[in-house]
Amino acid sequence: MIENSLECYHCEPCHPGFAGAVNMERYRSTSDGVLTVHASERRLAPGETARDEDRFRYWYIWPTTEIDATPGARPRLSVFTRQALGPERFRLIGRYYRLPGDVPTEAEIRSMDGNTTLMEDIAICESVQRGLASRGYDRGRFIVDSERSHMSKHSVHHFQLLVADALGLR
């Protein structure tokens, strides 16, 4: 699940709502030490100039924490951590934060509980786990572009090196 959140190669085909709201052409990712940062801005209308409140940021902090800053008229900050329950199971613990006085409606609360992108990611990861367990799987390939765009998986490779270091494998 962490690897899935460290790349956005899958975002356009798998998360149409997210990809439609975020400027994927400007989406970039950098990894250094225990931190990976994904950055872009909300999709702007033609001629519109990005302001600070339009910027999207996602921070992954090794080993299990992510922080999402979602722009818009009603910006939101989300903080999640994952608790391992076994090799194929985890618990996601999270909180949403809004500006003072911005109280979500009941429908918004239900929407946050069933976060569309998160539900799409869970289905994707469950499918990948089934594929990894199949006899036909050998190994995948990393796609890396020099611009570190959403099409690049360099942050997944960085994460795997952190895992290997933590396990004393390199």
* Domains of the chain by residue range: 2-166
Decide: residue 155, CB within 10 A, 0-12 exposed, 13-18 middle, 19+ buried. buried
If you average pLDDT over residues 138-160, what whole number do you get? 89
Which option is the CATH number for 2-166: 3.40.50.1100, 3.20.20.100, 3.30.465.10, 3.90.380.10? 3.90.380.10
**114-127 CB burial, b ≥16 within 10 A, e <16:** ebebbebbeebbee
Answer yes or no: is pLDDT of 83 > 80. yes
Q: State pLDDT tens for residues 84-121.
A: 898 778 898 989 899 999 988 888 777 666 578 888 99
Amino acid identity, position 138: D
Q: pTM for the full model?
A: 0.87
3-state secondary structure of 127: helix
